[in-house]
Amino acid sequence: MSIPTSSIEQVIPKQGAMAQPSAAARRRRWRFVANGKAATGLALVAGYLLLAVIGPWIAPYEPDARSNELLQPPSAQHWFGTTHLGQDVFSQILVGARGVMLVGLTAGVVATVLSVLVGVTAGYLGGLSDDTLSALSNVFLVIPALPLIIIVTSTITDAGDLVVALVIGLTSWAWGARVLRAQTLSLRRRDYVEAARATGESTWRIIGFEILPNLTAVIASGFVGTVIFAVMSEITLAFIGISSVSSWNWGTILFWAQSQQALAQGAWWWFVPAGLAIALLGTALALINFGIDEFVSPRLRSAGRARVRTADGHVVRMRVGFTPVLARPATLPPPRPRPEVVTPQRKEADR
């Protein structure tokens, strides 16, 4: 559940992918989808969204419906087996998708809006408001979020999906705010922003039209990161039995599996599908963020073919510092016998 440090923070202040808003940059924005990682991630997330919408309709059983087939391994009737009460795990997964996506996206939106408000304001206005807002976001960054979320939601009796989403959103905006503040600071000093200020454009117009469009990638990556965190937190809350157990999500399934000793009874089907569903969703979101990272920082893009055959017949990996020599023209005299390199020791002796 660690948050990988984004390279965006380190790379943007210097270079150009987002330096100037231009037609070419706008066109490049669409090329983002052509990135293999991003495309895979987007497709997977789209699949999850679809499940969130139609999941409850296509579920073969009611997730709460009990039957006499207790703790059955996967079969044609029950693809993912059944629980100790004979409930269909597959249906629970399908129905649970909605809660997971709803909470994840809501929390993501809340946190992103907050982080943009705090981060961009702090970065653009500077001075006292910057100090105050930075201190605020640093406090929220350092206080361990998950224990805080656990305590707050367990204090609120019968926290539903929406409450959980709000609590997560309100406690996890600080990371995004921090990155956005740094970016805004560097954008503020760019020539075209200075020019807009010199011509007397209003602060909010500059932020809305000159700065925000150039923060798109950073904001998007922050949003995706928060969604990952929100999904994990929500599932954690359900797993330790804090959020209400009446609605289904994948954490609830794991909660019942854990409390009914699914492990001791060898009922692997009870907890494996939910965990894989979470992991796949997390992977998909992480892939989108890799795509954004590579889009923003060209250095991270894989450089096409990594191996080449050189003139002396070896296959080498292309790397910094040793440019491969591919061929020598036929018009040149045949290569002479390998010459002796003057070694430093000999040179030293000359001195």
Binders of another protein in range 272-301 (CB under 8 A) = 272, 274-275, 278-283, 285-287, 290, 293, 297, 299-300
Examine residue 56 and tell whether it contacts another protein (CB under 8 A): no
CB nearer another protein, residue 191 or residue 312: 312
Cα–Cα distance measured from residue 214 to residue 223, given in angstroms and rounded to the nearest whole number: 15
Examine residue 175 and tell whether it contacts another protein (CB under 8 A): yes
Reported for 309-314, long-range contacts at CB under 8 A and 24+ positions apart, including other chains, are: none
Examine residue 341 and tell whether it contacts another protein (CB under 8 A): yes
For residue 203, the minimal CB distance to another protein (Å) is 28
Among the residue ranges 43-51, 82-90, 123-131, 337-345, the one whose residues contact another protein (CB under 8 A): 337-345
Examine residue 170 and tell whether it contacts another protein (CB under 8 A): no
Tokens coding 332: 């040149």
Tokens coding 325: 């020599």
Cα–Cα distance measured from residue 106 to residue 227, given in angstroms and rounded to the nearest whole number: 8
CB nearer another protein, residue 23 or residue 320: 320
CB nearer another protein, residue 127 or residue 304: 304
Examine residue 22 and tell whether it contacts another protein (CB under 8 A): no
CB 226 within 8 A of CB 111: yes
Using CB under 8 A, count the residues that bind another protein.
100
Residue 88 — φ and ψ, nearest 5°? Answer: -85, 115
Examine residue 97 and tell whether it contacts another protein (CB under 8 A): no
Examine residue 339 and tell whether it contacts another protein (CB under 8 A): yes
Closest CA to 166 of 98, 113, 97, 87: 113
Q: Which residue has the tokens 């087939």?
A: 69
For residue 319, the minimal CB distance to another protein (Å) is 7
Q: Which of 9, 69, 130, 201 binds another protein (CB under 8 A)?
A: 9
For residue 328, the minimal CB distance to another protein (Å) is 6
Examine residue 189 and tell whether it contacts another protein (CB under 8 A): no
Question: For the chain, first and last CA: distance in Å?
Answer: 60
For residue 165, the minimal CB distance to another protein (Å) is 18
Alpha-carbon dihedral angle through residues 69, 70, 71, 72, given to the nearest 10 degrees: -10
Judged by DSSP in three states, 60 sits in coil
Residue 306 — φ and ψ, nearest 5°? Answer: -100, -15
Helix (H) or strand (E) holding 56: helix 36-58
Q: Which of 18, 42, 207, 235 binds another protein (CB under 8 A)?
A: 235
Cα–Cα distance measured from residue 103 to residue 163, given in angstroms and rounded to the nearest whole number: 9
Axis-axis angle for helices 174-188, 127-142 (nearest 10): 150
Q: Which residue type occupies 56?
A: P
Examine residue 43 and tell whether it contacts another protein (CB under 8 A): no
Examine residue 143 and tell whether it contacts another protein (CB under 8 A): yes
Subset of 237-266 contacting another protein (CB under 8 A):
239-242, 254, 257-258, 263, 266
Q: Which of 304, 313, 315, 334 binds another protein (CB under 8 A)?
A: 304
Rounded to 5°, the CA angle 233-236-242 comes to 105
For residue 86, the minimal CB distance to another protein (Å) is 22
For residue 70, the minimal CB distance to another protein (Å) is 19
